Amino acid sequence: MKKIICLFLVATTLAFGVEGRVAFVEGLVNVKRSGKTHAVKLGASVKEGDTLSTSANGKVGILLSDGASFLMRPSSTLEIRQRSEYYQADGTISMLFHNKSEKAKSRWAIKTPIVTAGVRGTGFTVEASKTKTRLVLFTGKVIMTDFVKESGLQDDPNLMMQDFLNDVELNAGTAFVYEGGDVKKTQVDLQKDPMQKLHAEHIALEKSAAWKKATR
């Protein structure tokens, strides 16, 4: 039987639709909206229903009204779904999540073809494909809930029914990999991990004057 991994942290649901802006763009980046695809420019608006895709030489950073921030490497795809849910079909993306205030906790969900991550106020990178997902947690904490697929159900992990097995806590400095078998959870040196450069670049871009100007 195949395993599906889910991560959950409880928080309140946002009442309004998510929108945002392109805060950084390099090379060719496209957005698909209402069935039409066009290139995005710095400062362009993005909203629920949009799917962003970077070319082989493209990179893009976006900031959303729910506090989610993404920096996408080349050959990556991200769909902005309803209620702060984001679907990463493939590629490598750095993700930062900022609560607007202590009283107004935001809730986000990140989906890949084989993983769902519920997040609150943390930062990590995700490498995703149809058969493998690797997540490196740089800040915060998540609870990984392990599920097992029942035989004879849907092949699509977003549609199948699931049975609860156990919880595993992940702290900063932890990476896990799922590639069709057991989950491999390991401690990593965040300064030496291959994803550290992308994570650091994302943080630096968020602090830059150009990023702040583009998202006003």
CATH code where residue 207 lies: 2.60.120.1440
Alpha-carbon span 208 to 106, nearest angstrom = 24
Q: How far apart are CA 118 and CA 24, in angstroms?
A: 25
What is the rounded average pLDDT of the residues 59-71?
A: 96
- Asked if 12 contacts 42 with a C-beta cutoff of 8 angstroms, the reply is no
Q: Give the bridge partners for 19, in sequence order.
A: 47
Return the number of other C-beta atoms located less than 10 Å from residue 215's C-beta.
Answer: 19
Of 13, 189, 7, 157, the closest CA to residue 95 belongs to 7
Q: Using one digit for the tens of pLDDT, what is the confidence trace for 116-160?
A: 777 767 899 999 998 888 999 999 877 655 433 322 334 444 443
pLDDT > 70 fraction of the chain, expressed in percent and rounded: 75
Overall number of domains in the chain: 1
68-119 pLDDT per residue, tens: 999 999 999 999 999 899 999 999 999 999 887 655 566 788 888 877 777 7
Who has greater pLDDT, 202 or 171? 202
Q: Domain of 36?
A: 3-214
pLDDT value for 44: 97
Q: Half-sphere exposure of 43 toward its Cβ, with a 13 Å CA cutoff?
A: 4
Q: Burial code of 50-62, b = ≥16 C-beta within 10 A, e = fewer?
A: bbbbbeeebbbbb
Average pLDDT of the residues of the chain: 81
pLDDT of residue 111: 86
Nearest by Cα to 121 from 139, 136, 109: 139
**Which of 25-34, 64-73, 178-187 is least confident?**
178-187
Q: What is the pLDDT of residue 8?
A: 41
- DSSP for 69-127 reads EEEEPSS-EEEE-STTEEEEEEEEEEEEE--S-SSS---EEEE-SSEEEEESS-EEEEE
* CB neighbourhood size of 100 (10 A): 12
